[in-house]
């Protein structure tokens, strides 16, 4: 390469006080050993501990550390969205701030990028230190989502990835209130490939993704990339109707107590089907409602370390 390339690393952080110092040290070591130029963009997603103070301390030592600070917790996906807007690299890498995505994988991503791929995503071969429940539910979810959508969203793949400038420029134009970033990156297209890696245990602290946030992310993935659940509601109501008619017929023909049980059971079935359908429609409607309010996606309280604070307005 004739010209030194700039790689932006975007790291969303939320209450990562316990491990942030180590993360920065490991990344600085990595950067030191590489030929490319780097900027490390931390997006503080409204931490209530001293994460920001620790990032500030690192900024006094390292010229390549930058900070975007949200006014409150807006969520991991919006922190990524903000980070890539502030990035000025030829390529942008998104990774967790807890070293679960090891920097040692980045050179393999860069190699594929230089070979002509616009997106190089990290595909998890192993997930260390995660619960049995998380591993099984994540594996099932990725496959379910894939079966439900025509977008080519790779399985076992989180947000750890490298994206070329042209992909980032497209993503910056999206203003979805509840973005499912990894899906949007797949949706953009261009040449995409994966590199296999072993996901590490957290360097410190606990996951900031409790079950509630995980379910929210999963539901967003489905409602933003598939309308099949809406069609499922239609099939379900047909099935419920069929069973009801059948049980009434059985009751008519046999006149037995068993038939009464059948009728009651089918009413329950029908009732639950109706609620399910309402719930599904409600989830999509909620998404439309959230988007229609046209509120800012997130509020940036302040930025530090950027040459000019070029995006310092509300986004």
Cα separation, 297 vs 77, in Å, equals: 11
**Residue 13 contacts ligand UDP per CB under 6 A:** yes
Which of 8, 9, 10, 12 is in the footprint of ligand UDP by CB under 6 A?
12
Q: How far is the CB of 313 from Mg ion (least distance, A)?
A: 30
Which of 27, 28, 42, 45 is in the footprint of ligand UDP by CB under 6 A?
45
Which of 5, 56, 73, 237 is in the footprint of ligand UDP by CB under 6 A?
73
Which of 9, 17, 68, 75 is in the footprint of ligand UDP by CB under 6 A?
75
Identify which range of 100-108, 127-135, 175-183, 248-256 contacts Mg ion by CB under 5 A.
100-108
Q: How far is the CB of 206 from Mg ion (least distance, A)?
A: 10
* DSSP annotation of 172: T
**Residue 79 contacts ligand UDP per CB under 6 A:** yes
* DSSP annotation of 293: T
**Residue 208 contacts ligand UDP per CB under 6 A:** yes
**Residue 23 contacts ligand UDP per CB under 6 A:** no
**Residue 100 contacts Mg ion per CB under 5 A:** yes
Q: Residue with structure tokens 């997106």?
A: 119
Residues 122/157, Cβ–Cβ less than 8 Å: yes
Q: How far is the CB of 278 from ligand UDP (least distance, A)?
A: 29
Tell me the Ramachandran region of residue 237: left when phi exceeds 0, alpha when psi lies from -120 to 50, beta otherwise.
alpha
Q: Which residues of 171-203 are buried (b: 16+ CB within 10 A; e: fewer)?
A: beeeebbbbbbbbbbbbbeeebbbbebebbebb
Cα separation, 220 vs 283, in Å, equals: 9
Identify which range of 10-18, 32-40, 163-171, 290-298 contacts ligand UDP by CB under 6 A.
10-18
Task: Tell me which residue of 132, 128, 130, 110 sits closest to 119, measured CA to CA.
Answer: 110
Q: How far is CA 11 from CA 1, 24, 112, 283, in A?
A: 27, 10, 21, 29
| Residue 45 binds which of ligand UDP, Mg ion, none (CB < 5-8 A, kind-dependent) | ligand UDP
Identify which range of 8-16, 161-169, 270-278, 302-310 contacts ligand UDP by CB under 6 A.
8-16
- At a CB cut-off of 8 Å and minimum separation 6, what does 229 contact? 148, 222, 223, 280, 283, 284
| Residue 90 binds which of ligand UDP, Mg ion, none (CB < 5-8 A, kind-dependent) | none
**Residue 161 contacts ligand UDP per CB under 6 A:** no
Name the residue nearer to Mg ion (CB basis): 39 or 96: 96
Q: DSSP letters along 57-98, please?
A: HHHHH-TTEEEEEESS---HHHHHHHHHHH--SSEEEE--TT
Identify which range of 96-104, 220-228, 232-240, 294-302 contacts Mg ion by CB under 5 A.
96-104
Q: Is the dihedral of CA 283, 288, 291, 293 positive or negative?
A: negative
**Residue 98 contacts Mg ion per CB under 5 A:** yes
Instruction: Using CB under 6 A, list all residues that contact ligand UDP.
Output: 12-14, 16, 45, 73, 75-76, 79, 96-98, 100, 207-209
């Amino acid at each position: 390469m004739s010209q030194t390339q700039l790689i932006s690393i975007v790291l969303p952080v939320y209450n990562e006080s316990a491990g942030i110092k180590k993360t920065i040290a490991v990344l600085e070591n990595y950067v030191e050993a590489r030929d490319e130029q780097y900027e490390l963009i931390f997006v503080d997603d409204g931490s209530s501990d001293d994460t920001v103070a620790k990032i500030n301390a690192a900024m006094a030592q390292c010229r390549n550390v930058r900070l975007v600070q949200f006014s409150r917790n807006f969520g991991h996906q919006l922190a990524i969205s903000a980070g890539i807007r502030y990035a000025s690299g030829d390529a942008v890498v998104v990774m967790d701030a807890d070293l679960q995505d090891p920097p040692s994988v980045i050179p393999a991503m860069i190699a594929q990028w230089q070979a002509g791929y616009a997106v190089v995503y990290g595909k998890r071969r192993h997930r260390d230190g995660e619960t049995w429940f998380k591993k099984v539910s994540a594996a099932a979810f990725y496959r379910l989502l894939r079966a439900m959508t025509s977008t080519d969203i790779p399985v076992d793949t989180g947000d750890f990835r490298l994206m070329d400038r042209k992909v980032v420029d497209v993503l910056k134009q999206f203003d979805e209130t509840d973005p499912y970033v990894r899906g949007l990156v797949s949706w953009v297209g261009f040449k995409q490939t994966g590199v296999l890696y072993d996901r590490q245990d957290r360097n410190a602290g606990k996951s900031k993704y409790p079950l509630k946030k995980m379910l929210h992310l999963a539901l967003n993935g489905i409602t933003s990339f598939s309308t099949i659940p809406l069609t499922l509601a239609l099939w379900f109501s047909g099935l419920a109707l069929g069973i009801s008619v059948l049980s009434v017929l059985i009751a008519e023909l046999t006149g037995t107590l068993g038939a009464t049980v059948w009728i009651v059971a089918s009413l329950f079935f029908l009732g639950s089907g109706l609620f399910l359908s309402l719930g599904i429609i409600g989830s999509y409607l909620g998404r439309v409602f959230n988007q229609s309010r046209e509120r800012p996606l997130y509020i940036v309280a302040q930025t530090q370390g950027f040459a000019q604070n070029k995006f310092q307005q509300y986004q």
